Chain A
Amino acid sequence: MKYIDEYRDPQLARNLLAEIRRKTTRHWTIMEICGGQTHSILRNGIDQLLPDSIELVHGPGCPVCVTPLESIERALLIAAGKEVIFTSFGDMLRVPGSSKDLFMVRSEGGDVRIVFSPLDALQIARDNPQKEVVFFAVGFETTAPANAMAVYQAAREGIENFSVIVSQVMVPPAMHAILSSPENRVQGFLAAGHVCAVMGYAEYEPVAREFHVPIVPTGFEPVDLLAGILKTVELLEEGRAEVVNRYGRVVSREGNRAARDTIKKVFEVTDRQWRGIGLIPGSGLSLKEDYTRFDAEKKFNVAHFYAGESPLCRSGSVLQGIMKPDACPAFAKECTPEHPLGATMVSSEGACAAYYNYHRTAYSL
């Protein structure tokens, strides 16, 4: 298949691996930011093929994982409403709040629907003027343009029965938080290719300078990942704290201007809670004043819920690259995809789920 097979070519992968081995002279700890990258690494067993001196730690780039518990509680409350059609990306449906998830709300009679785009949710609102249609707008900079566009369109067309629960987060402030932590071990980053496709990579240059780390925008296929790892190793070995793009077929320094403009039109920067991590200043987006009538949390006047996380769940450490999923005492014991204690075990991009699915018995493979 074009645009896929060439990036899964085993011979290309072997060449890159040989080059990584040749270039590596000491131990390096590299974080891949995005959960999609984590899954591709584990699914293709790239971690098994790398030299032992290259350690990959898994980053916070899983939108479902970092969506705070109170947002989920509010979503559950809104979705149970009789007049509501609640729409969401499929992943969010299984994320547990303190006592239930959206699937359970659906089984109790809530109209909860999976959509593949927020614009599909908007269409549902057009088609059902007598209902309130709510979209759960979670995600990083990747989902922000389409989510912003849905709100922008709703405003332009006067679709007043549409609203969104906004839980948008951004990568650079999270990198800042990780690098500022006294426990930090990360020496270089694979930046998330699709985030950079929207935002460009110029915004990573100050981070690279301030913390003296190389940052390499990287794709998701095995050959992309290996090329990104190789470039990061080269920069580390040469002591160069630079941003070098290794996802050139998708990413430019400036990113997608139209998408960025759409985000700016609708959203403004705000402080945001990250599930398992805590408050990261300036790390989120919220609706600008002109669009607050599309804020579902205000529209439905949902009270704030603060439910305690399971004391067993260590997803915060996992999301910051401090702990590997299988080092958690609850991993594959109290915590499994069927009975997740934290969101990292739920999402298809969650590091714990990736370890569980592909790696559970890595030691015996």
Chain B
Amino acid sequence: MTIVPVCPSPIMQHETVQMAHGAGGRLSQTLMQRVFMPHLNNAFLDLLDDQAKLDLPSGRTAFTTDTYVVSPVFFPGGNIGELAVNGTVNDLAVGGARPMYLSAGFVLEEGFSLTELETIVRSMADAARKAGVMIVTGDTKVVGKGQCDKIFINTSGVGIIREGVDLSCRNLQPGDSIILSGTAGDHGMAIMTSREGLSFQSQITSDCAALNGMIAAVLDAVPAIHTMRDPTRGGVAATLNELAVSSGVGIEIYETSIPVKPEVRGACELLGIDPLHVANEGKLVLAVAAEDAERVIDVMRSFDHSRDAVIIGSVVNDHPGMVVMRTAFGSRRIIDLPLGEQLPRIC
């Protein structure tokens, strides 16, 4: 018997993320070619330069950034990749901007499944396509096992602000109507009920969605919107409190008008959480002069993700800086900012 000497070559086919995938060498290239480029390819990214060189249309530029650390990474109704694209698209859109270009930075934990990573990247590509934006530059780092939780994603984005709109959290006027584009608390409850340690099952799915198409249609119909916000962490309550403080006005909302899905309400009842404090990832809070409110709602309701749009309250002269709810019984109570964490890491 003869033993043929074989030169031991390094393993190049991996199932999971290795430290070397982030080291800039051959494995880094493999990761780019195998996982990222097939899904994210476009004229900018294909050049593989260290930067994207953009020709932006004229007008004011909106620029935003957000980092996504959601756990679990895959949740009912979406995953961290979709969230990372839609979240940044929405942050641009609520400023009256047309979202155009995104960057994507990945922090990967050693040992994270490459199949799952590819699923996430594919979702990002799909979400970007749906929202009409391009991911034009990116970065990947790998950290040791236990130094991050599977995958963290940062996305930044630029967009061009349309002429003639002035959206600011300081613009609320007494008499304005406050509109919510749909049910409160879907995303946060989808995350909470899919966590380990909560041993009940639910059908709740995240509302994760890009809102730029709907927002553009609303602004086409009513350019004089006073403010728009996407009520993410802290929920509708936090957003309304920020608006009341920034504009120095009071906000009154009506308990019976606030749409909440029955299953979300049920989970909130069980956990003792107010749906108004729970995060959303595909909802819009908007303030507009009362006479324009119905027109805004008509436009919103023509989009699937905002078909439950409704007036939930109004801006008042009383109690400046404070949000007060008129209860179903006719009494009133303060709607405060949620204190601290409901449960950690929901976006």
Q: Do A and B bind each other?
A: yes
Give A94 to B265 CA distance when docked, in angstroms. Answer: 25
A240 beta carbon closer than 8 Å to chain B? no
Give A92 to B177 CA distance when docked, in angstroms. Answer: 40
Beyond A10-B329, A49-B330, A348-B272, is A357–B336 a contact (Cβ under 8 Å)?
Answer: yes
| B334 adjacent to A44 (CB under 8 Å) | no
| A44 adjacent to B331 (CB under 8 Å) | yes
| B329 adjacent to A44 (CB under 8 Å) | yes
Beyond A10-B329, A13-B329, A358-B333, is A4–B319 a contact (Cβ under 8 Å)?
Answer: no
Give A94 to B338 CA distance when docked, in angstroms. Answer: 14
A94 contacts which chain B residues (CB < 8 A)?
340
B327 beta carbon closer than 8 Å to chain A? yes
| B265 adjacent to A1 (CB under 8 Å) | yes
Residue-wise, chain A 194-211 has the 8 Å CB interface mask toward B (1 for contact) of 000000000000000000
Q: Which of these, A43, A116, A338, A361, contacts B198 with CB under 8 Å?
A: A116
- Shortest B274–chain A CB gap in Å is 9
Q: In chain B, residues 264-279, which have Cβ atoms closer than 8 Å to a Cβ of chain A?
A: 265-266, 269, 272
A114 contacts which chain B residues (CB < 8 A)?
197, 343
- Shortest B100–chain A CB gap in Å is 40
| A1 adjacent to B266 (CB under 8 Å) | yes
A119 to B, closest residue via Cβ: B199
A8 contacts which chain B residues (CB < 8 A)?
328
B324 beta carbon closer than 8 Å to chain A? yes
Residue-wise, chain B 49-88 has the 8 Å CB interface mask toward A (1 for contact) of 0000000000000000000000000000000000000000
B318 contacts which chain A residues (CB < 8 A)?
364
Residue-wise, chain A 115-149 has the 8 Å CB interface mask toward B (1 for contact) of 11000100000000000000000000000000000
A13 contacts which chain B residues (CB < 8 A)?
329
A269 beta carbon closer than 8 Å to chain B? no
| B334 adjacent to A360 (CB under 8 Å) | yes
B1 beta carbon closer than 8 Å to chain A? no
| A45 adjacent to B322 (CB under 8 Å) | no
| A10 adjacent to B328 (CB under 8 Å) | yes
Tally of A interface residues using CB under 8 Å? 32
Q: Which of these, B197, B262, B266, B332, contacts A45 with CB under 8 Å?
A: B332
| A115 adjacent to B197 (CB under 8 Å) | yes
B339 beta carbon closer than 8 Å to chain A? yes
B330 contacts which chain A residues (CB < 8 A)?
10, 45, 49
Give A348 to B343 CA distance when docked, in angstroms. Answer: 15
- Interface of A (DSSP majority class): helix
Q: Which of these, A43, A113, A222, contacts B333 with CB under 8 Å?
A: A43
A46 beta carbon closer than 8 Å to chain B? yes
| B334 adjacent to A358 (CB under 8 Å) | yes
Q: In chain B, residues 178-213, which have Cβ atoms closer than 8 Å to a Cβ of chain A?
A: 197-199
Residue-wise, chain A 1-41 has the 8 Å CB interface mask toward B (1 for contact) of 10010001010011000000000000000000000000000
- Shortest B225–chain A CB gap in Å is 29
Residue-wise, chain A 332-365 has the 8 Å CB interface mask toward B (1 for contact) of 0000011000000000100000001111110011
- Shortest B249–chain A CB gap in Å is 15
Tally of B interface residues using CB under 8 Å? 24
A77 beta carbon closer than 8 Å to chain B? no
A53 contacts which chain B residues (CB < 8 A)?
none
A10 to B, closest residue via Cβ: B328
- Shortest B193–chain A CB gap in Å is 12
- Interface of B (DSSP majority class): loop
| B333 adjacent to A361 (CB under 8 Å) | no
- Shortest A24–chain B CB gap in Å is 18
| B262 adjacent to A361 (CB under 8 Å) | no
Q: Which of these, A115, A338, A365, contacts B332 with CB under 8 Å?
A: A365
Q: Which of these, A49, A338, A356, A365, contacts B329 with CB under 8 Å?
A: A49
A337 contacts which chain B residues (CB < 8 A)?
339
- Shortest A7–chain B CB gap in Å is 12
A113 contacts which chain B residues (CB < 8 A)?
197
- Shortest B213–chain A CB gap in Å is 33
| A48 adjacent to B319 (CB under 8 Å) | no
B332 to A, closest residue via Cβ: A365
Give A360 to B333 CA distance when docked, in angstroms. Answer: 9
- Shortest A271–chain B CB gap in Å is 31
B329 contacts which chain A residues (CB < 8 A)?
10, 13-14, 44-46, 49, 222
Q: Which of these, B269, B319, B327, B339, contacts A364 with CB under 8 Å?
A: B319
B262 contacts which chain A residues (CB < 8 A)?
1
B331 contacts which chain A residues (CB < 8 A)?
44-46, 48-49
Give A202 to B23 CA distance when docked, in angstroms. Answer: 72
Residue-wise, chain B 301-338 has the 8 Å CB interface mask toward A (1 for contact) of 00000000000000000110010100111111110100
Give A10 to B255 CA distance when docked, in angstroms. Answer: 12
- Shortest A99–chain B CB gap in Å is 19
| A357 adjacent to B328 (CB under 8 Å) | no
A42 beta carbon closer than 8 Å to chain B? yes
- Shortest A152–chain B CB gap in Å is 20
B198 contacts which chain A residues (CB < 8 A)?
116
A359 contacts which chain B residues (CB < 8 A)?
333-334
Beyond A115-B197, A364-B319, is A338–B339 a contact (Cβ under 8 Å)?
Answer: yes
A45 contacts which chain B residues (CB < 8 A)?
327, 329-333
- Shortest A14–chain B CB gap in Å is 8
B318 to A, closest residue via Cβ: A364
A358 contacts which chain B residues (CB < 8 A)?
333-334
B328 to A, closest residue via Cβ: A10
B262 to A, closest residue via Cβ: A1
Give A357 to B237 CA distance when docked, in angstroms. Answer: 12
Q: Would you list 8 pairs from A and B whose C-beta atoms are within 8 A, ordered by A residue?
A: A1-B266, A44-B327, A44-B329, A45-B330, A113-B197, A120-B199, A357-B336, A364-B319
Extra pairs beyond A44-B333, A49-B329 (5, CB < 8 Å): A44-B327, A115-B197, A358-B334, A364-B318, A365-B319
Interface residues of A (CB under 8 A from B): 1, 4, 8, 10, 13-14, 42-46, 48-49, 94, 103, 113-116, 120, 222, 337-338, 348, 356-361, 364-365
User: Which 8 A/B pairs are nearest by Cβ-Cβ distance?
Assistant: A45-B331, A358-B333, A48-B331, A365-B332, A10-B328, A337-B339, A13-B329, A45-B327
